Amino acid sequence: MPVLVLTSNRQRANHSMKFSSFTRFLNKKHASVAVSVCALAAVAGCGSADGASADSSNDTGVTSTGPTQKAASDSNSKMKATTFDGAVPFRGINLSGAEWGEAIPGQEGTDYQFPTTDEVDYFLSKGMNTFRISFLWERLQPTANGEFDSAYFNKLDALVTYATSKGAHVILNPHNYARYYEQTVGSDQVPNSVFANLWQRLATHYAGNENVMFNLVNEPHDLPTLQWVGAANAAISAIRNAGATNTIIVPGNNWTGAHSWYDDTGGVSNAVAMLQINDPMNNSLFEVHQYLDDNSAGSASSPCVSTTIGSERLAQWIDWLRQNGKKGFVGEFAGRNDATCNAAVKDMVETMMTDSDVIQGWLWWAAGPGWGDYGFSLEPQNNQDRPQMAWLTPYLKSDS
């Protein structure tokens, strides 16, 4: 089967990290992915796609580095969320790992690894209550409109079930940049119906778990903004038609930066186009990601511009939310470990907490089993908290 190597133009700085027995070159904005041209067969009609997963294991548990803890058996049961102090209801972290690696489908433990229940327990003990769990669409659904890969989905579902059984909120996030096998959603290769099918299946499964939220995709970019809005609306319609009342988190185009909310990259700005998002239940949040370095790209080695850069970059987006009667969510932010970034992060978090009439949540980027010495990671090392954990602690509620 012919293989095509596609390189997408990304902005975020390079991060080299060790992951288990392999070194993964992680770059949130620079990646090359080898994909099968015919993997989109169900859409483009180029022949039968090979959607089999390399992992045929029937293991439905979640890896834990500590004592095994059994997840609840019924992921569709209603679960009541833990109540946290403060007006911002959702405060937590991105758990990253299942979306890693260039190989599709790849091999768990070599190309990617799911976050663990121990990580869930650790961050809950710190007072966090929300986890954005990323996955790779192509691994979950190898063929367009097809069934989910059972081994991959069972791992994801077990982690979701465990976290929500503890009272946490889980945000499901296909970390795909509005792409499927490197073709944009809403295109001829990946029509809106394919994107809607992914979310119809997820919504059907999680409709009974009110602690699960649906983050449509990670950081759409380099496509017409109205094309993205059309795809998002198709997914929202599919979710609601599946009977799911869960909160939906909708990113903007152009890497969904707060600082660029009014830029017309993609033909029309997010400030204009996102007003066309249509959720019949009016239970959607508008997501931004905002970093503090000079180009908002999120380089863990770059300094923060100033001690107030975070609040400054959020300001127009916050005004947009308030003026248009919308609610927002900051899905990623972080700063490296130095005095300027410490002050900038505190200023940004205090802004988000103060503007809780429109900001419903915020999540640090990131943690997970393979981050090593990555400068933004909150994954504890040698049983010690990372320095930035102390920055966030005053804004969290500990159950201890």
Tens-place pLDDT, residues 169-184: 999 999 999 999 999 9
> What residues make up the domain containing 303?
71-395
Asked which of 41-55, 126-140, 172-186, 318-332 is least confident by mean pLDDT, the reply is: 41-55
**Phi, psi of 248, rounded to the nearest 5 degrees:** -110, 135
Q: Is the dihedral of CA 175, 177, 178, 180 positive or negative?
A: negative
The CA-to-CA distance between both ends of the chain, in Å, stands at: 55
* Number of domains comprising the chain: 1
pLDDT at 108: 95
- The band of 86, judged by pLDDT with boundaries at 50, 70 and 90, is low
Please identify which of the residues 99, 108, 287, 332 carries the catalytic annotation. Answer: 332
**In-domain check, residue 16:** no
pLDDT above 50: residue 189: yes
49: in domain = no
Give every CB contact of residue 372 below 8 A, 6+ residues apart in sequence: 17, 18, 19
Does the annotation count 379 as an active-site position?
no
CATH number at residue 325: 3.20.20.80
Mean pLDDT for the chain?
83
Residue 41 lies in a domain: no
Residue 265 has a pLDDT of 83
| More confident: 155 or 12 | 155
Q: Is the pLDDT of residue 54 over 70?
A: no
Domain for residue 9, yes or no? no
Q: Does residue 203 belong to any structural domain of this protein?
A: yes
Of 61-70, 335-344, 377-386, the least confident: 61-70
Residue 371 has φ and ψ, to the nearest 5°, of -85, -20
pLDDT at 397: 76
- pLDDT above 90 covers what percent of the chain? 76
User: Which whole number is the average pLDDT over 313-327?
Assistant: 98
Tokens of 276: 């066309």
Structural domain contains residue 353: yes
- 228: helix, strand or coil: helix
Q: Is the pLDDT of residue 359 over 80?
A: yes
For residue 26, CA distances in Å to 272, 380, 399 come to 33, 19, 34
- Count other C-beta atoms under 10 Å from residue 355's C-beta: 19
pLDDT at 82: 35
The answer to the question of residue 22 being in a domain is no
Contacts of residue 351, defined as CB under 8 A and 6 or more positions apart, other chains included, come to: 310, 311, 314, 318
Torsion of CA 283, 91, 398, 73, to 10 degrees: 60
Partners of 215 in the β-ladder: 249
What is the per-residue pLDDT for 65? 36
Tell me: the pLDDT tens digits for 98-145? 999 989 999 999 999 999 999 999 999 999 999 999 999 999 999 999
Catalytic residue from among 119, 219, 287, 379: 219
Known catalytic residue at 210: no
User: How buried is 312 (Cβ within 10 angstroms: 0-12 exposed, 13-18 middle, 19+ buried)?
Assistant: middle
pLDDT: is 10 or 42 the higher one? 42
263 pLDDT more than 50:
yes
Neighbours of 380 (CB within 10 A): 16
Q: Which pLDDT score, from 0 to 100, does residue 11 have?
A: 31
Q: Is residue 367 part of a domain?
A: yes
CA distance 157 to 206: 9
